[in-house]
């Protein structure tokens, strides 16, 4: 598939897309993509990029592109700037921008409308989900939809994909073909319960580099305010690192920057360590620019390993031949059953019940009255869950059929098309009425995407057993 890469930086996203590299003794095979054009307006990032790729990146402002003259492509990728979005005071409200950087998102949309690639991938910070009190993100999705795309998005944590960094990023994927949309699933975490520790990215030789250590004056200043201001964020070598940022060259003890505390002294990370924390391979070249420019480029990059998993999932979707007739949220013509499901009165109302007879995983789920309309309109169902629940009941991720009820009333029968683990901010972006939820902002939910199906006559209640919810201990 032919690809144009916008805002490519030093090439983290592009390296992950192409594959063919090793990281922490694991090989990430080459994927079937070709980058036919890459642009960025930072000449220093471009120097690094061109040192590492056969194809070359152009130093250019995306607004200077002659879109009609761009080559035909199958995919557009890029992490558009997001610092400057605003919600303009219009009725209805519209997506605006505070300065010129906010315009760059619309340039991406223009290319999508003109070139109509089969897919696009956009990456951004977690804060995009809550920007402008949660109003900006749904409008951004609407702009992508208006460009002719079905949209899926997910908040991915790099530490769950073999990377020693707790970097959370929103990944938005657009599909021009409805069948691609139906078939695609985000990649499943590879290290959800066995995170890669920071110590695998720390170089022993850097412990002897005096340039990396903070002065005693800086340490004394931090110590005076540490208890009040939570400064001096020393990282545990046995866990993934906190997110590293674009101002790595100006790391301060009086900020929230991650630092190391070794043998009674504080130090910052070297550029090689930062590159490894971001999952760049050892043979990626950086010496075409100063260390300060290296650190800025690394901090802004998309982790290549994370992008590899995303690109691999898209390639898998593109290669699949199975067709689905319906997009799961196109269900307005479906008539939902209104009959009472009398047998459900025997069940605890807030408990999930699972049956896996003949390997056909079927779930009975309950819901609150306040989200019934959301379930029917979005064709999605969610339930609060912990990491211990996921570990204890991995069959939840294999559910194929789902029956949802509210007390004794049947809401509907569904075929599950995709299963994800999400947080509240992601649910809000899907239109879920989270304001009425009692759960905390960092609560995780299992989210099922589904399509309505006909009433099932093969339900055997003796085959179901309770797994999660209230009252299980009393059953």
What is the DSSP secondary-structure string of 355-381?
Answer: E-GGG--EEEEE--GGGHHHHHHHTEE
Phi then psi for residue 322, to 5 deg, are -70, 135
| Bridge partners of residue 363, in order along the sequence | 354, 402
Q: What is the pLDDT of residue 471?
A: 55
10 is annotated as an active-site residue = no
Q: Given the structure tokens 């002719």, which residue do they identify?
A: 148
Query: Cβ(134)–Cβ(428) under 8 Å?
Result: yes
Query: DSSP for 304-338?
Result: HHHHHHHHHHHHHHHH-----SS-TT--TTPPPP-
- What does the pLDDT read at residue 150? 93
Tokens coding 285: 């070249």
Express each pLDDT in 286-330 by its tens digit: 999 999 999 999 999 999 999 999 999 999 999 874 444 343 344
Pairing of strands 57-59, 34-40: parallel
Mind listing the pLDDT tens digit of every residue in the chain (475 residues)? 999 999 999 999 999 999 999 999 999 999 999 999 999 999 999 999 999 999 999 999 999 999 999 999 999 999 987 655 555 555 566 565 555 555 688 889 999 999 999 999 999 988 888 777 777 788 888 899 999 999 999 999 999 999 999 999 999 999 999 889 888 989 989 998 899 999 999 999 999 999 999 988 888 887 776 665 555 578 999 999 999 988 877 887 877 789 999 988 999 999 999 999 999 999 999 999 999 999 999 999 999 999 999 999 999 999 874 444 343 344 444 444 444 444 554 556 678 888 887 777 999 988 888 899 999 989 999 999 988 888 888 889 899 999 888 876 788 889 999 999 998 888 888 888 866 556 777 789 999 999 988 766 667 777 788 888 865 543 3
Which position among 57, 82, 274, 382 bears the catalytic label?
A: 82
pLDDT of residue 458: 66
Predicted pLDDT at 330? 41
The dihedral built from the CA positions of residue 17, 21, 24 and 26, taken in this order, carries a sign that is: positive
What one-character DSSP code corresponds to residue 217? H
pLDDT of res. 105: 84
Strands 168-175 and 119-125: antiparallel
Q: What is the pLDDT of residue 329?
A: 41
Cβ-proximal residues to 364 (8 Å cutoff; 6+ apart), any chain:
344, 347, 352, 353, 354, 403, 405, 464
Angle of helix 291-300 relative to helix 43-52, nearest 10 degrees, comes to 80
| Residue at token pair 């982790």 | 303
């Amino acid at each position: 598939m032919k690809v144009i890469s916008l805002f490519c930086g030093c090439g983290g996203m592009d390296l992950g897309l192409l594959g063919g590299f090793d990281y922490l003794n694991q090989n990430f095979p080459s994927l079937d993509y070709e980058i036919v054009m890459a642009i960025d307006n930072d000449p220093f990032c471009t120097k690094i990029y061109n040192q590492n790729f056969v194809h070359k990146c152009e130093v250019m402002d995306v607004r200077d592109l002659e879109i009609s003259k761009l080559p035909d492509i199958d995919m557009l990728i890029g992490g558009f700037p997001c610092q400057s979005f605003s919600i303009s005071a219009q009725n209805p409200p519209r997506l605006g921008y505070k300065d010129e950087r906010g315009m760059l998102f619309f340039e991406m949309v223009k290319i999508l409308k003109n070139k109509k690639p089969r897919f696009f991938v956009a990456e951004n910070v977690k804060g995009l989900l809550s920007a402008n009190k949660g109003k900006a993100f749904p409008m951004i999705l609407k702009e992508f939809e208006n460009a002719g795309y079905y949209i899926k998005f997910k908040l991915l944590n790099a530490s769950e994909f073999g990377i020693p960094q707790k970097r959370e990023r929103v990944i938005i994927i657009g599909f021009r073909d409805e069948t691609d949309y139906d078939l695609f699933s985000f990649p499943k975490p590879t290290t959800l319960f066995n995170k890669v520790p920071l110590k695998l990215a720390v170089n022993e030789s850097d412990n002897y580099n005096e340039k990396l250590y903070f002065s005693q004056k800086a340490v004394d200043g931090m110590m005076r305010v540490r208890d009040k201001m939570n400064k001096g964020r020393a990282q545990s070598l046995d866990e993934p690192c906190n997110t590293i940022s674009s101002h790595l060259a100006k790391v301060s003890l009086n900020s929230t920057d991650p630092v190391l505390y070794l043998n009674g002294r504080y130090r910052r990370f070297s550029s090689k360590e930062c590159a490894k924390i971001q999952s760049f391979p050892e043979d990626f070249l950086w010496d075409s620019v100063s260390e300060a420019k290296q650190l800025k480029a690394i901090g802004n990059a998309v982790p290549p390993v994370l992008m590899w998993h995303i690109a691999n999932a898209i390639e898998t979707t593109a290669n699949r031949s199975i067709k689905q007739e319906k997009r799961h949220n196109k269900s307005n013509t479906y008539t939902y059953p209104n009959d009472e499901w009398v047998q459900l009165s025997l069940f605890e109302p807030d408990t999930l019940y699972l049956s896996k007879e003949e390997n056909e995983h079927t779930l009975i789920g309950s819901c609150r009255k306040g989200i019934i309309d959301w379930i029917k309109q979005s064709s999605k169902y969610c339930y609060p869950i912990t990491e211990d629940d996921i570990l204890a009941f991995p069959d939840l991720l294999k559910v194929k059929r789902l029956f949802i009820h509210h007390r004794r009333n049947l809401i509907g029968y569904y075929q599950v098309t995709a299963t994800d683990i999400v947080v509240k901010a992601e649910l809000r972006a899907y239109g879920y009425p989270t304001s009425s939820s009692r759960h905390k902002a960092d609560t995780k939910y299992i989210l099922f995407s589904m399509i309505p199906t006909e009433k099932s006559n093969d339900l055997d209640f003796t085959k179901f057993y309770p797994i999660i919810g209230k009252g299980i201990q009393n059953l």
